[in-house]
């Protein structure tokens, strides 16, 4: 098929989109086998790659030939491949690495629920629970290997996000910031390192806080960062000038999101601010990542990406008022709200 979109008929373009599922699995397998890492020092033959990756040489050749046809890897001579700029993004140590994203996206824990998208569309229910019998985060607790794959993906995603967020908002007037549900503290530590006069509080489940301790210590901000264990569905015993919820609200439906926001509001001083780090869906037919990740939330968590109006409705129910929406050098926005 001609890959030049400008020369394709509408049906050819749609066929190309339909083939996206196959391409996802092709990239997933190459990432899982670590092919890009094996090519970081230069071209290698398919036999060399297969031996190092534990793969069948002829089958691996067919995979890499297919990927090379869409610009990921390049066959420089017979059965010998090298990196392209797109393939280099699959290296583990690439500054813009998407390797764990490729691994997670093609993993059966993500892949199988997407195969039940029709179920979610017809019922409004989460396909993940239909497939695996439990909610996704409960499944991770019982299946730590799957949870680790997800955590690696989220860490890679956060690495790309934190600098964009930290540079887009002026934290200099605050004395204490609290990252609620902040995981291992990557965002909080990045903000603290950029603002040496700030103190921070990392709030998450006790098991997560236990893991975060080493991360915070290695970041060099441990003396300015308090670690607090708890659940944002129960109570948040934290006092700060700025409260951050980064990629939290989109994981949950409106009912659970209201509970989280109300618990934040209960502990917040009247002159404090709340920052939601989220994708905001634009109106109309404008292309937007959030319109696609919104379906991902439907299938996997039961959550949703939201429009500006939908965020305003959440705030209205939880005694907040939308104050500002700040774009970042990423697909995420900083949605600033104040108590009322």
Of all helices (H) and strands (E), which one includes residue 100? helix 99-106
Q: Which of 28, 199, 224, 250 is catalytic?
A: 250
117/149 Cα distance (integer angstroms): 22
C-alpha torsion angle, residues 312, 313, 319, 325 (rounded to 10)? -10
Contact between 233 and 249 under an 8 Å Cβ cutoff? The reply is: no
212/146 Cα distance (integer angstroms): 19
Contact between 153 and 98 under an 8 Å Cβ cutoff? The reply is: no
Q: What is the largest CA-CA distance in the chain?
A: 68
Q: Which residues of 67-87 are buried (b: 16+ CB within 10 A; e: fewer)?
A: bbeeebbbbeeebbbebbebb
C-alpha torsion angle, residues 274, 187, 194, 265 (rounded to 10)? 20
64/44 Cα distance (integer angstroms): 12
Is 250 an active-site residue? yes
Just list the catalytic residues.
Answer: 250
């Amino acid at each position: 098929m001609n890959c030049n979109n400008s020369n394709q008929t509408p049906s050819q373009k749609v066929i190309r989109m339909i083939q996206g599922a196959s391409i996802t699995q092709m990239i997933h397998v190459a990432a899982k086998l670590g092919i890009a890492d094996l090519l970081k020092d230069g071209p290698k033959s398919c036999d060399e790659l297969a031996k190092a990756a534990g793969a069948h040489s002829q089958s691996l050749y067919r995979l890499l030939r297919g990927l090379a046809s869409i610009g990921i890897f390049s066959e420089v001579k017979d059965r010998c491949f090298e990196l392209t700029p797109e393939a280099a993004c699959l290296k583990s140590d690439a500054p813009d690495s998407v390797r764990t994203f490729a691994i997670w996206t093609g993993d059966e824990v993500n892949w199988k629920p997407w195969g039940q998208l029709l179920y979610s569309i017809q019922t409004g229910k989460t396909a993940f629970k239909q497939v695996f019998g439990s909610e996704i985060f409960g499944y991770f607790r019982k299946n730590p290997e799957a949870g680790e794959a997800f955590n690696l993906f989220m860490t890679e995603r956060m690495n790309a996000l934190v600098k964009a967020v930290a540079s887009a908002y002026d934290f200099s007037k605050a004395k204490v910031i609290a990252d609620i549900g902040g995981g291992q503290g990557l965002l909080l530590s990045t903000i603290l390192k950029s603002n040496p006069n700030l103190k921070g509080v990392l709030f998450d489940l006790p098991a997560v806080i236990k893991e975060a301790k080493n991360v915070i210590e290695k970041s060099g901000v441990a003396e300015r960062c308090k670690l607090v264990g708890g659940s944002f569905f129960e109570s948040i015993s934290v006092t700060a000038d700025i409260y951050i919820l980064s990629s939290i609200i989109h994981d949950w439906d409106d009912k659970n999101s209201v509970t989280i926001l109300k618990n934040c509001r209960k502990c917040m001083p009247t002159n404090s601010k709340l920052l939601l780090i989220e994708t905001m869906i634009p109106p109309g037919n404008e292309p937007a990542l959030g319109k696609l990740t919104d379906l991902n939330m439907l299938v996997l968590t039961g959550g949703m990406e939201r429009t500006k109006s939908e965020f305003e409705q959440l705030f209205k129910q939880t005694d907040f008022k939308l104050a500002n929406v700040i774009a970042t050098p990423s697909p995420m926005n900083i949605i600033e709200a104040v108590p009322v």
